[in-house]
Amino acid sequence: MIQLEHVLVVAALLFSIGLFIALSRRNAIGILMGIELMLNSINLNLIGFARFVDSPRPIDGQVFAVFVITIAAAEAAVALALAVSIYRLRQSVDVDKLTLLKW
Amino acid sequence: MSDIGTPPYVVNIGPQHPSTHGVFRLKVTLDGERIIDAEMVLGYLHRSMEKLAEERTYTQNIPFTDRMDYLAAMTGNLGYCLSAEKLAGVEVPERASYLRVIFAELQRIASHCMANGTFVNDCGAWQTPLMYMFREREKILDLFEMTCGARLTTNYMRIGGVAFDVPDEWYPSINKLMAEMPDRISEYEEMLHDNEILLARSRDVGVLKPDVAINASVSGPVLRGCGIAWDIRKADPYCVYDRMDFDIPVGHNGDCFDRFLVRLEEMRQSVRIIKQALEQLPGGPVTTPVPLALRPDPGEAYVRIESPKGELGFYLASDGGPAPYRWHVRSPSFINLSVLKELSVGLSIADAIVTLGSLDINVGEIDR
Amino acid sequence: MRAVVAAWYDFDPFHELYEWIGDVTSSEELVYVIIAVVGATGILSFVGLGALANVWLERKIIGRIQVRRGPNRVGPGGLLQPVADAIKLIQKEVLQPRASDGKLYNLPPILVFIPAMLTFAVFAWAPDMVYADLNVGVLYLLALSSVTSLAIFMAGWASNNKYALLGAMRVIAMAVSYEIPMVLALLAPVLFTGTMSIPGIVDFQRTNDIWLAFMLPLPVFIYAISATAELNRTPADIAEAESEIVAGFHTEYSGMKFGLFYAVELINSLAVSGILASLFFGGYSLFGIDEYIPPWIIFIGKIYFFYFGLIWLRGTWPRLRIDQLMAFSWKMLIPLALINIAVVSAEVLIWRLNEFDSWIFWVYALMNIVMMFVLLQFFFTMLTKNYYRLPRRATLIHDVSVPSLPAPTFTQGGNA
Amino acid sequence: MDDTAVVVAFYVLAAITLISALMVAVVRDLIHAVLFLILSFIGVAGLYITLSADFVAVVQVLIYAGAISVLMIFAVLLTPRSDRDNAAVSYAAPLSVLAGLLGAVIIFVGLDTDWRQVEGDRFGQTAAEIGQALLDPYALPFEVASIVLVVAMIGAIILVRPGNEEEA
């Protein structure tokens, strides 16, 4: 029998891996991958809560997960468009070299 | 996907590639799928024919012409024999001239079948139009086989005429073929004219402007596709073409589809010519006796004929010996190919392949 | 559901096997496992045999289309040709380019197989012959098709070949473009039947004695075209476009690895035919005739009917260019699908609110067929009018004439 | 039997998800990283199924494995080869400690809280239920989400439009 705790531990580990990736990558696309992993872990939590936690309308968790997936898709599209246009501008997607706003 | 600004991507189309029609290499630089630069690399099929010919007698050189444009051996034979006859001053019997016209036109139909079939194949058809056109090509090759025993490398024409007279069973066969051929051509038209995909792939693709075509010395269906009515058979008649009544089909726009149309229509005109020639076909000998080791007087001769690919010219120079002093071939494939870069830069890879297919090159003729 | 099928044959292996095993043993788990293994074996053997049969059918039918005979040397009528092909492929050397991407290169032939096989799990072969009745069946099919394109991309990328990478890029671009009309097209039967389970949709068509294809002709059209695009078959085989990029994503695969890609293409064609048959053409039902013929025979017959259509397409049409194919999706199929969804939702709403009987379906069928013809005519004219601007016959000129032209502008050999 | 199967499936899928997520951080080639990310997404989808969220699971495969990963592959292929490495910044080690600590805190909080759990599977037709929830209580967020998608689409198109180069 799966318990809520199992889900929470998996989601927490996934979140920290995602966080590490998002913070440590130099490539803009790599950072985006970390963010997607974090969003996934959040979804996992939402689904887990929907499944195990007492609430008047248990489906809410899954609906939220659907919303998160939607927003993740939008975010990925915009972020990748940004990455491509940044590459066009600077010939690089290395975020360490993007010092345009650095004073 | 044009202006994303990706790094350039160099792709070698060929020498081993399904649609380069032989071993021909096109080195293209791509931006996405769009060609921004193209370089043609030739010479993979070079067999040094022009040099070899300087060591052989005039008659021994005829088989080389089979192997230049191996899809149109008859016209190769014809052009070479005409130039050798002009050099040596040999008269050709009338029956031989008619037979030459008939076989050259049969060869034109066969070659255009091949050209159009592979062109539609290059547009991506799964062999079907090619197979339809092969059906008729096979019958023409059967006629060749009946006459001279060979189907592809015919080696049929001789200096002073043709090698053999046609056998008796040849007449019903060709009459039957000529009777059904217009229907077959209509069948191809029916199959391909209203095909939106073929139109989408070839209309307005690879448009050759008339001035570019003339300045590049392009000839044959490629030239006629851009709307210029030029045909050696009418402009500089050889054999008995001046006695034939036929039209020059021309295109409207100079795109790949126009070249395709011109070839289709030329097949019809060829049928017309063959029918007239069969009607007028006189009796008599088919060859003038010519010494086997022909020694023409010193001099030079140039003869051009309308091969299926375009203007096929043979230049022969003699120093009085049994072998030509110099032999040069003006091959239409080679010169038509020279516009490929002009046409393909700016197109996508798929369009460049279609354009290459519509030029109807033959690498055996390009590299000789 | 069981009571419906009580015809003379009463062939229902799952149910009878279930009962028989239930008599022998009392262990529920054992019964479950046995049924699962038997069902999987049945489906896999159908798919495997189907792939072999498809090789023969495809070559034979295309041969007929191309006025030739097709294979006729190995076995009667060339029937053993696929076996000979398979033996040849198996004994061929499997080459791996040195610059290829190691493990990634070996994975795709296996990976493409998985979704192809999984697709067959949700089909309803007969009223009780459903291996996995997922209540998100339609979405499941769509998800699987997107996984296939990823495996194909991996193949193209890992080969480290320029043609293969071009093919892989084309696959990915196509997958993005054609997923949308596909989803929108498959939404229409879901709207009508109110369920996403494939057996549910088939059952709706059987109980109402109507094929959804009559009511939803436009989605059939859209789905069939998007499916050929996703299948990489002519006229949309741009990912392996032989005349352009040699063999696309599987350029570097030889021997049985190529054989697997080839088999997957055939299996996927069967799967697409199966989806068409069950979502739009009544699945195993045939207006009551399914009482006299085993339903799974009807279903397989329908699958092969649509498969014949796919072969016919391949034998007839040239290939579109990638940008034309994309434009076709974005400019024609997606607007059409959106219009269709709006109309169908309105129709379903009217039907559900007024609680009409099933006679209303025939009214809808008439309306939608008329709508389809009008819309298709409009879109086709819009998309193709440019191609018909010039005559499609060469002009005939009797005498040589060369026009006088402006000064040379030709630059070949100079710069450029 | 059913329960043990689900538990085993859960552990296997969790292992796939976490290991491939880790591989995303480890591998050098960006394309390999994307492919491991897809494997991770599919693992998460499997986890959803064990948590009886089949609709979300299929949507996860469809959107993440089918669309987002495709976008990422495109973005990677549109950047030059030299930029296709997956290198970490020089201060990755302290970051991993930080991320690990945060993960530990989350796990601790998660295990320590009383979550008012209930027993039993409560979901039947999740697709229908989600559909009703989207159209009834969540109608406004649903519409907002669609607007967000449209805005994102237009934004993405404007960002990569060819005309932008001159302004830059």
Chain-centre distance of CA B44, in angstroms? 20
Q: Give the mean pLDDT of A84-103.
A: 69
The predicted pLDDT at position C372 comes to 86
Percent of chain C whose predicted confidence (pLDDT) is above 70: 89
Contact C302, C126 (CB under 8 A): no
B7 CB near a chain A CB, below 8 Å?
no
Q: Touching check for B1 and chain A: CB below 8 Å?
A: no
Span B294-321, average pLDDT = 88
Which neighbouring-strand residues pair with B39?
A: B27
Q: What is the pLDDT of residue C386?
A: 76
C227-250 pLDDT, tens per residue?
Answer: 888 887 777 777 776 667 777 788
Question: Among B6, B30, B34, which would you mutate to test the D interface (most chain D Cβ atoms within 10 Å of its Cβ)?
Answer: B6
Is the CB of B3 less than 8 angstroms away from the CB of D162? yes
CB C17, CB C38: distance < 8 Å: yes
Judging contacts by C-beta atoms under 8 Å, the chain D residues touching residue B3 are 162, 165
Looking at beta carbons, which residues of chain B come within 8 Å of D80?
6-7
Contact call for D75 and A33, based on CB within 8 A = no
- What is the mean pLDDT of the segment spanning B142-150? 88
pLDDT at position B356 over 80: yes
**Range A4-94 classified under CATH 1.10.3470.10:** no
CA distance, residue A52 to nearest chain D CA (Å): 5
Contact of A15 with chain D, judged by CB distance below 8 Å, is answered with: yes
The Cα angle at residue D156 between residues D155 and D162, in degrees rounded to 5: 105
Q: Contact C136/D58, CB-based, under 8 Å?
A: yes
Give yes or no for residue D1 having a pLDDT over 50.
no
Whether A21 and D44 lie within 8 Å, measured CB to CB: no
pLDDT at D163: 59
Chain B partners within 8 Å of C406 (Cβ): 211
For chains B and D, what is the number of CB pairs under 8 angstroms?
12
Least confident of C23-37, C97-111, C168-182, D97-111: C23-37
Residue with tokens 């539609």: B120
CB of D110 within 8 Å of a chain B CB? The answer is no
Over chain B, what is the mean pLDDT?
85
B152 — pLDDT class (breaks 50, 70, 90):
confident
Q: Which residues of D touch A74 (CB under 8 A)?
A: 148-149, 151-153
Lowest mean pLDDT: which of B121-125, D47-51, D119-123? D119-123
The CB density around residue C183, as the number of other CB atoms within 10 Å, is: 17
B220: region left, alpha or beta (phi > 0 left; psi from -120 to 50 alpha): left
Please tell me the distance from the alpha carbon of residue A35 to that of residue A39, in angstroms, as a whole number.
Answer: 6
Cβ–Cβ contacts within 10 Å for residue D101, how many? Answer: 11
Percent of chain A with pLDDT over 70: 86
Please report all neighbours of D, defined by 3+ CB atom pairs within 8 A: A, B, C
Contacting partners of chain C (3+ CB pairs under 8 A): B, D
Determine the residue of chain A that is closest to B3 in CA distance.
A88
pTM of the model: 0.84
Contacts (Cβ under 8 Å, ≥6 apart) of B59: B158, B159, B290, B292, B294
Output the DSSP codes for C91-147.
HS-----TTS-HHHHHSHHHHHHHHHHHHGGG-EEETTEES---TTHHHHHHHHHHH
Q: SS3 for A3?
A: coil
The Cα of B214 is separated from the nearest Cα of chain D by a number of Å equal to: 36
Query: Is B289 at the interface with chain A, CB within 8 A?
Result: no
* Rg of chain D, C-alpha, whole Å: 20
pLDDT at residue number C412: 53
pLDDT digits (tens, 9 = 90+) for C337-383: 999 899 888 888 888 888 777 777 888 888 888 888 888 888 888 87
* Interface contacts B/C by beta carbons within 8 Å: 178
Would an 8 Å CB–CB cutoff place D168 in contact with chain B? no
pLDDT greater at residue A102 or residue C337? C337
Of D38, D66, D71, the CB nearest to C143: D66
Q: Using CB atoms and an 8 Å cut-off, which of residues 172-201 of chain C contact chain B?
A: 173
> Which residues 139-168 of D have a C-beta within 8 angstroms of A?
141, 145, 148-149, 151-153, 155-157, 159-160, 164-165, 168
For residues C372 and C217, the answer to whether their CB atoms sit within 8 Å is yes
Chain D closest-CA separation from residue B247 CA (Å): 49
pLDDT value of residue C1:
33
DSSP code at position A95: G
Which domains occur in chain B, in start order? Answer: 58-367 (1.10.645.10)
The CATH class of D1-104 is mainly alpha
Inter-chain CB proximity C146 and D55 less than 8 Å: no
The SS3 call for residue C396 is strand
Higher pLDDT, A72 or C7: A72
What's the N-to-C CA distance of chain D in angstroms? 63
Q: Which of D78, D80, D81 sits opposite B4 (nearest CB)?
A: D78
| Number of Cβ within a 10 Å radius of residue D137 | 14
CA-based nearest distance C220→chain D, Å: 21
- The pLDDT value recorded for residue A98 is 67
Q: What is the pLDDT of residue C8?
A: 39
Query: What percentage of chain B reaches a pLDDT higher than 90?
Result: 2
CB < 8 Å from A in window 43-102 of D: 44, 47-48, 50-53, 55-56, 59-60, 63-64, 67-68, 71-72, 74-76, 78-80, 83, 85-89, 91-92, 95-96, 98-100, 102
Mean pLDDT of B232-242: 85
Task: For B256-267, write each residue's pLDDT tens digit.
Answer: 888 888 998 899
| Residue extents of the structural domains in chain D | 1-104, 126-168
Could you tell me the residue ranges of all domains in chain A? Answer: 4-94
Burial class (CB within 10 angstroms; exposed 0-12, middle 13-18, buried 19+) of B172: exposed
Give the pLDDT score at C204. Answer: 85
B226: nearest CA partner in chain C: C394
Neighbours of C400 (CB within 10 A): 15
Judging contact as 3 or more Cβ pairs under 8 Å, the answer for A and C is no
Distance from CA of A69 to the nearest CA of D (A): 7
Are B72 and B331 a contacting pair, CB within 8 Å?
no
Confidence of residue C207 (pLDDT cuts 50, 70, 90): confident
pLDDT digits (tens, 9 = 90+) for C247-300: 778 888 888 888 888 888 888 888 889 998 888 888 887 877 767 777 778 888
Alpha-carbon gap, residue B10 to B354, rounded angstroms: 19
**Which residues in chain D touch residue A84, judged by CB atoms under 8 angstroms apart?**
75, 78-79, 159-160
Residue C403 has pLDDT above 80, yes or no: no
**Residue A63 Cα, gap to closest chain B Cα (Å):** 36
- Per-residue HEC secondary structure of chain B comes to CCCCCCCCEEEEECCCCCCCCCCCEEEEEEECCEEEEEEEECCCCCCCHHHHHHHCCCHHHHHHHHCCCCCCHHHHHHHHHHHHHHHHCCCCCHHHHHHHHHHHHHHHHHHHHHHHHHHHHHCCCCCHHHHHHHHHHHHHHHHHHHHHCCCCCCCCEECCEECCCCCCCHHHHHHHHHHHHHHHHHHHHHHHHCCHHHHHHHCCCCCCCHHHHHHCCCCCHHHHHCCCECCHHHHCCCCCHHHCCCCEEECCCCCHHHHHHHHHHHHHHHHHHHHHHHHHCCCCCCECCCCCCCCCCCEEEEEEEEECCEEEEEEEEECCCCCCCEEEEECHHHHHHCCHHHHHCCCEHHHHHHHHHHHCCCHHHHHC
Percent of chain C with pLDDT over 90: 0
For residue C76, CA distances in Å to C57, C71, C80, C377 come to: 14, 10, 8, 46
The predicted structure's pLDDT at residue D120? 66
